[in-house]
Amino acid sequence: MADRDVSLRENLEQTGKSVLGASRTELYIDMRFMASSLSSLGYEMDLSTTSIGTDAVNIRFNPTYVLRLFVEEPGKLNRTYVHMLLHCIFKHMYYSKTYEDVRLYDLCADIVVESILDSLDYQCIYRVTSDYRDRWYALLEKDLKVLTVQKLYRYFSDPANELEEREYEKLEREFKLDDHSFWLRLPEDEPDQEKDKPPLDDDMDSPEGKPDDTQDNTPKKEKYINPRRLKQIERKEKDWDKEAKRLQTEIETIGKNASDRLGKLDWVLKFENTSRTDYREFLRRFKVLREEGGIDMDSFDYGMYSFGLDHYGNMPLIEENEFREVKKIQELVIAIDTSASCKETTVQQFLNETAALLLTGDSFFQRIKIVIIECDDQVQRIENITSVDDMKKYSEGIHVEGGYGTDFRPVFEKVEELRKRGDFENLKGLIYFTDGYGTFPETPTGYDTAFVFVEDSDYEDENVPDWAYKLYV
């Protein structure tokens, strides 16, 4: 009896793997640009799910489910395969644990992936798009431009856009294709009483022992994760990061006829692959080492100080240092695009963010020089900031001057004029807030230059020179 059960299990597993292999072959023939991605996942039978999902290392499948799809809906099986691949390429399973509302995160991830698939022109994954989907796409893209999980999550978390339970369930039925219960949900250091338990014998093919969530949408706590499997999943993250960049490069090299079939995939890949340097970290580049008045407690010798008091009365042997060496911002140029395409509310959002970062803690020396230049196609206004109070006053009530076309070059010409005149002693950098629609300078600067975009706004960042940074707030 035991031998027959083992044989049946092996036959089921082999059948499931054969079905998935056949689907992969069909996808490879029609979507050659995804060849590497298609080869990045292994197959593993897992009876803890009633459907199919991935942990970024393997496709975990119930053989009965994939066999039924293969026979009755082969197009849906192909689409589910690519659906899971896109989750991996965008690393949705890795970011999942950082979001509080797991159910909402899952929905957002599925909407993002399905919106891309609906835009692709490949018969092997085609499905008729419902009017319900089209209405939601039109609504979301009107407000968010590019659909990403982060944007969607923030959008639905807004009380004004909060979903009623009935609508929530309808969206889940519409966009869900795979089982997300294999995704990493909990931070590694979070206590979980289940993690200390060994896997059950019945779960040898599924060390996590995760329950199926294809029917029940209530968030579930993860069960035991095999340490070896956990390491495999963590190592795989770097591979998927490389795969996303490789896929973008592959897409950029294919002909126009092929690229026309890619819909939103090219654009979303570029958006997700863009290096988003932390704004706070970037500002540290502009700090310089200087002496500043104040007690330097790090160089204070308490031993000698106490010795003097003990032996000579009220006479310490060493006085505290009256100056200390610190790294702070001393000189900086902030340029603001005031052209017609750059809305005043967006400018205010940028200034609020910048002021919050610069005015937090000890960012400035007691004497500073920050030059704020407002410019559209010519310099409209120059504001000199010499104190923290000046920065606060300026950021609280911005009224942009200008409103015409955009040319970034006048700002750099003005900065060079100020440098030659001796207005700057040691200028470290220039931050240029813009929507990116304009003429960029060609000559690299002798200081760090960053073009800053508001992430949720309409912007164009493809023409930023290679020698400049792109930042997003």
DSSP assignment of 57-111 equals SEEEE-HHHHHHHHHH-HHHHHHHHHHHHHHHHTTHHHHGGG-S-HHHHHHHHHH
Residues (pLDDT < 70) of the chain are 1-6, 185-225, 255-259, 274-281, 283-330, 341, 343-344, 353, 355-368, 397-404, 455-457
> What is the rounded CA–CA span in Å between residue 359 and residue 387?
11
Structure tokens, 322 = 């009256």
pLDDT at 88: 96
Run of H or E including 469 = strand 469-472
pLDDT at 429: 85
> What is the rounded CA–CA span in Å between residue 439 and residue 118?
35
Decide: residue 165, CB within 10 A, 0-12 exposed, 13-18 middle, 19+ buried.
exposed
> What is the rounded CA–CA span in Å between residue 222 and residue 233?
15
pLDDT tens-digit series, residues 191-207? 343 333 333 333 434 33
> What is the rounded CA–CA span in Å between residue 279 and residue 215?
42
The DSSP call for residue 407 is: B
| CA nearest to 237, candidates 42, 35, 53, 55 | 55
CA angle 106, 107, 109 (to 5 degrees): 65
Q: Which CATH number fits domain 279-296+326-472: 3.40.50.410, 3.60.21.10, 3.40.50.1860, 3.20.20.70?
A: 3.40.50.410
pLDDT at 110: 97
| CA nearest to 193, candidates 220, 217, 224, 167 | 224
CA angle 355, 358, 359 (to 5 degrees): 80
pLDDT at 121: 92
* Phi, psi at 366, each rounded to 5°: -65, -35
Residue 308 vs residues 297, 321, 323, 401: alpha-carbon distances, Å: 18, 16, 22, 63
**What residues contact residue 362 under an 8 Å CB cut-off, 6+ apart?**
326, 328
pLDDT at 317: 47
pLDDT at 262: 86
Range list of H helices, 254-363: 256-259, 265-273, 279-283, 302-312, 344-358
pLDDT at 338: 84
pLDDT at 200: 36
The residue count of the chain comes to 473
The ranges assigned to domains in the chain are: 2-270, 279-296+326-472
End-to-end CA distance of the chain: 63
**Are 295 and 320 spatial neighbours (Cβ–Cβ below 8 Å)?**
yes
Whether the pTM exceeds 0.75: the reply is: no
Buried b or exposed e, range 147-164, using 16+ CB within 10 angstroms: bbbebbbebbeeeeeeee
Question: In the Cβ-directed half-sphere of 438, how many Cα atoms lie within 13 Å?
Answer: 29
Q: What is the DSSP code string of 153-204? A: HHHHHSGGGPPPHHHHHHHHHHH--SB-TTS--S-TTS--GGGGSPPPGGGT
Scan for tokens 């490389």, then name that residue: 242
